[in-house]
Amino acid sequence: MSEMIDANEIRRKYLRDGMLPTIFCNGCGHGNAIDYTFWAIEELGINMDDVALASGIGCSSRIPGYINADGLHTTHGRALAFATGIKAANPDMHVIVFTGDGDCTGIGGNHFIHAARRNIDMTVILLNNFIYGMTGGQLAPTAPKGSIATTAPYGNIEQPFNISELATALGAAYVARWPIFYPYQPIKSIKEGIQTPGFALIELMSPCPTAYGRRNKLGEIDQLWAWYEQNTILIEDYEKTMRYGTEEEKAAVKEKFLIGIFQKAEKPGFFEAYDRMVKKLMANDDAKWGGGGAE
Amino acid sequence: MKYQRDPVRIRKVLGDKVQFIQGDMAVAYGGLVAGVSFFGGYPITPASEVAEGMARLLPRVGGTFIQMEDEIGSIAAVIGAAWGGVKAMTATSGPGFSLMMENYGYAIMTETPCVIANVQRTGPSTGQPTLGAQGDMMQVRWGSHGDMEAIALAPSTVQECLDMTIEAINLSERYRHPVCVMTDGEIGHLREKLVIPDEDEIELVERRTPKLPPGEFLPFAPSQIDGSKVPDFAAFGTGYHTYVTGLTHNEKGFPRTDKQPDHERLVMRIIEKITDDRKRFVNIEEVMMDDAEVAFVTYGASARPARSAVMDARKAGIKAGMLRLKTVWPFPRDEIMAVSKKVERIIVPEMNLGQIYHPIREYTDQACEVVMAPKIGGEMHLPHELAEYLGVRT
Amino acid sequence: MKREIRIAGFGGQGVILAGFIVGKAACVFGPYNAVQSQSYGPEARGGAARSEVIISDEPIGYPRPTGVDLFVAIAQEAFDTYKGDVRPDTVVIVDPDLVPKHDLGRPVFEVRVQKIAEDLGNKIVTNIAMVGAMTGIYDLFDEDAMRKAVLDSVPKRFAELNVNAFKKGYEAGKDALSR
């Protein structure tokens, strides 16, 4: 970790020249996610030549364009599959995916499930804003019940996706969820995610005042902040309430979003396991052939 | 550790130089010989043997095989690996090829070298999974949205499955384009003699890397080495911080999506880098064409009964010949035009309802009669069926 | 010269392997061109199955057989299913224990290949014994090339069993030919 570095220096160091301004609206949380990632990378002392970014389609997927590193801005929903290939070819690179709730769990749900299940070595920073923002506010699979979207004009009647709990159930090595308003926890989680062998998911609840807020009486940024305050609870507090709380208190926290670290497991990532298999197979062949295959 | 191609190890893993194997396995062998180190695939009849071969062989040479969750993921991972700097391929059949179409277009737009082997069957939909057909000859050309050129090769033998997979990898590296090996269920499952080439019998092409430092290097401009329309390739991890997007982009790779000239300039360069160079790599085979008055123009499995029919016709005193399209796209239009001026009639046997017949009609421009000879349903034409088109009475 | 060979049996009896060996002997260990194809579908899972090989001294165009010069059967159902286009001059070889009803109104070579395999202690090599019998009877096949192809195609730990089955089958084939 470097001595002292201020925010301007950080931005000069890590932003890609010629790509600003961003496409993000006032009050959008995505810029914070970029900032937190810079701080995490700075604190870890990672060389940007060793970072590969991937993304799909949507507002959050524009992020690799703004970061001065190799970046693959791909097709809708497929970033994790692309990232799998990047990591396979370059096992020593840090592969970081920026994606959104619609990109990753709507159209890309199947890739998400399998990348998490395989424990593919990558860090997925998922910006969940409950909406398809770039295309103007269509219903996302994460949209809270009753929320309004252009394609759910009478209110969402579907059960929303709980992304972090899904990733946890799939055995992802690292899973955390934080509202984007708190800087320290997301930065710490991004750092831990990058350092974790295997699949790391950092779900950041990022407000979309334009496409989600306006339709759901949360168009002002302070309203959104207040909403996040009222509708999230730390995992530890939730568990305490569920264990020791009154029925009333339990009912009050039941519908809230859990925030915190859902899972932190020490297990080999896919490519570590694969590499082990390769070494064993090649050693077997070498023994069989009596000497190396290589010249 | 990054993959290092080790020809000695590859040859040892492949085994005997002369083998009696299936076309699908020959595709896998071709990939290995050409230096492919990443294969992402999903099981599908009649292409699964390619993935099975890769699953067995690739780890033993230090490469990576992953069975992805579907064909969309397979081609995506292949493109990711290509940007990671390695040679990568996948294999599939009709339904999977349909699923790949969006990312196939992405590979074209981002100029990503990679190979798709399509062991074709028929449709629509699930169709006849276990039987061969030529169902995707047009999909490979026009299946993705927008304007593009395709490079597609069509093997007729097991040996060509290997040879053309190597060639496809080379073409993909040279032109930075996804190249398709359009084999089919018939050739894919056929066993035939295969001779694995020695190291000195093959030539491998590698994508060209930047000569200019980061900052001066333009990742999506004509080559800064010699002005060729194929940009030089800065793989991820080499310090160039390349931004790659499927959006219309400028020479730096930055999105430029709202101006007509930006889009036209980019798309035309991507098309012309291939069409300008077609003479260099478009490949055909002529069989008994010197004095031919009637000729088959065909490709892939269909060329096999066509060859038999030509021999039968010659025995009957009919001056028949065959032009076999080893390269189907870019379309060998000059070669076909030349034939149309020489013969009275062109007959086009295909295992579909005339996918290549129509472009042949376009390029012969009524210089001779062009007859469609389709057969669908999962069977090749019988030689005598085709001989009848040549005027042989049975 | 072009010969079309059909080997028919139950799925699981190893007729695909037998065809594979015949093709490999012809083009890898012999001077010919060869192609081998097989029938897929439900019949590959226990019903009548067939493996077809074309051997030629010229390049092989159409890769599927258009007739049958040599018809070999090791299961009654397969014999019945695939005998339809057998010509008067087609060479026919059966195991009479496995194909008891094989009357075609003309001579058929009978070799008890399953018994050979059983006497060697493993019915699994019935197909290889039949490859031996075919080699003894059909003059196109070269014994040395065929033995090499057998050895090259079976698991190393069963090499001896397979070579013995081939040898016994070959001798029995020669016997049948001289009878």
CATH number assigned to the domain comprising residue B294:
3.40.50.920
Q: Are residues B180 and B307 in the same domain?
A: no
Domain end call among B160, B176, B201: B201
Whether chains C and A touch (3+ CB pairs under 8 A) is answered by no
CB atoms within 10 A of CB A284: 11
Average pLDDT over every residue of A254-277: 96
Q: Which chain C residues are within 8 Å of B18, Cβ to Cβ?
A: 28
What's C162's domain CATH number? 3.40.920.10
Task: Tell me what percent of the residues of chain A surpass a pLDDT of 90.
Answer: 93
Q: Are residues B176 and B304 in the same domain?
A: no
Q: Is B380 on the interface with C (CB under 8 A)?
A: yes
Average pLDDT over every residue of B225-251: 98
**pLDDT score recorded for residue C11:** 83
Confidence of residue A3 (pLDDT cuts 50, 70, 90): low
Residue A289, phi-psi category: left (phi > 0), alpha (psi -120 to 50), beta (remainder): alpha
Q: Which domain holds residue C60?
A: 2-178
Assess whether pLDDT exceeds 90 at residue A86: yes
Q: Which domain holds residue B107?
A: 7-201
Chain-chain contact of B20 with C27 (C-beta, under 8 angstroms): yes
Chain-chain contact of C59 with B307 (C-beta, under 8 angstroms): yes
For residue A284, the chain B residue with the least C-alpha distance is B60
Number of domains in chain C: 1
Average pLDDT, chain B: 97
The answer as to whether B255 is a domain residue is no
CB atoms within 10 A of CB B227: 8
The ipTM assigned to this model is: 0.97
Assess whether pLDDT exceeds 80 at residue C45: no
- Using one digit for the tens of pLDDT, what is the confidence trace for B295-343? 999 999 999 999 999 999 999 999 999 999 999 999 999 999 999 999 9
Q: Which chain B residues are within 8 Å of C66, Cβ to Cβ?
A: 382-384
**pLDDT score recorded for residue A221:** 86
Q: Is B96 on the interface with C (CB under 8 A)?
A: no
Number of domains in chain B: 2
Candidate from A252-266, A278-292, C62-76, C129-143 with smallest mean pLDDT: A278-292
**pLDDT score recorded for residue A295:** 43
**pLDDT score recorded for residue A1:** 47
Between vectors from CA A200 to CA A76 and to CA A12, what angle results, nearest 5°? 75
Q: Is A195 on the interface with B (CB under 8 A)?
A: no
Q: Give me the phi and psi of C130, to 5 degrees please.
A: -70, -35
Q: Percentage helix, strand, coil, to 5, in chain A?
A: 45, 20, 35
**pLDDT score recorded for residue A15:** 97
**pLDDT score recorded for residue B163:** 98
Confidence of residue C48 (pLDDT cuts 50, 70, 90): confident
Q: Which one of C64, C66, C85, C151 would you mutate to disrupt binding with B, by most B Cβ within 10 Å of its Cβ?
A: C64
Average pLDDT, chain A: 95
| Closest to B114 in 3D by CA, of B147, B77, B145, B144 | B77
The answer as to whether B289 is a domain residue is yes
Chain-chain contact of B383 with C28 (C-beta, under 8 angstroms): no
Whether chains B and C touch (3+ CB pairs under 8 A) is answered by yes
Give the three-state DSSP class for B299: coil
- Distance (Å, whole) CA B145 – CA B40: 23
Confidence of residue C42 (pLDDT cuts 50, 70, 90): very low
Please state which architecture CATH assigns to domain A7-266.
3-Layer(aba) Sandwich (3.40)
**pLDDT score recorded for residue B393:** 86
Q: Number of residue pairs across A and B with CB atoms under 8 Å? A: 171
Q: Are residues B173 and B306 in the same domain?
A: no
- Using one digit for the tens of pLDDT, what is the confidence trace for A202-219? 999 999 999 999 999 998
Task: Tell me what percent of the residues of chain A surpass a pLDDT of 70.
Answer: 97
Domain end call among B201, B235, B255: B201
Confidence of residue C46 (pLDDT cuts 50, 70, 90): low
The answer as to whether B223 is a domain residue is no
- Using one digit for the tens of pLDDT, what is the confidence trace for A9-32? 999 999 999 999 999 999 999 999
Assess whether pLDDT exceeds 60 at residue A292: no
- Distance (Å, whole) CA B238 – CA B294: 55
Confidence of residue A62 (pLDDT cuts 50, 70, 90): very high
| Residue A243 burial by Cβ neighbours in a 10 Å radius (0-12, 13-18, 19+) | exposed
Domain boundaries, chain A: 7-266
**pLDDT score recorded for residue C43:** 46
Instruction: Give the distance between the most distant pair of CA atoms in chain A.
Output: 74
Candidate from A2-16, B23-37, B110-124, B338-352 with smallest mean pLDDT: A2-16
**pLDDT score recorded for residue C18:** 97
Domain end call among B175, B201, B227: B201
Q: Is A273 on the interface with B (CB under 8 A)?
A: no
Task: Tell me what percent of the residues of chain B surpass a pLDDT of 70.
Answer: 99
**pLDDT score recorded for residue C40:** 53
User: What distance lies between CA B177 and its chain's CA centroid?
Assistant: 11
Q: Are residues B193 and B323 in the same domain?
A: no
**B20 and B193 Cβ atoms separated by less than 8 Å:** yes
- Using one digit for the tens of pLDDT, what is the confidence trace for C119-166? 999 999 999 999 999 999 999 999 999 999 999 999 999 999 999 999
What's B57's domain CATH number? 3.40.50.970
For residue A69, the chain B residue with the least C-alpha distance is B241
pTM of the prediction? 0.96
Task: Tell me what percent of the residues of chain C surpass a pLDDT of 90.
Answer: 91
**B113 and B87 Cβ atoms separated by less than 8 Å:** yes
Q: Is B30 on the interface with C (CB under 8 A)?
A: no
**pLDDT score recorded for residue C12:** 87
Task: Tell me what percent of the residues of chain C surpass a pLDDT of 70.
Answer: 96
CB atoms within 10 A of CB C31: 9
Average pLDDT over every residue of B234-246: 98
Q: How far is B293 from chain A (nearest CA, A)?
A: 50
Assess whether pLDDT exceeds 90 at residue A5: no
- Using one digit for the tens of pLDDT, what is the confidence trace for A231-261? 999 999 999 999 999 999 999 999 999 999 9
Chain-chain contact of B304 with C62 (C-beta, under 8 angstroms): yes
| Residue C160 burial by Cβ neighbours in a 10 Å radius (0-12, 13-18, 19+) | exposed
**pLDDT score recorded for residue A4:** 77
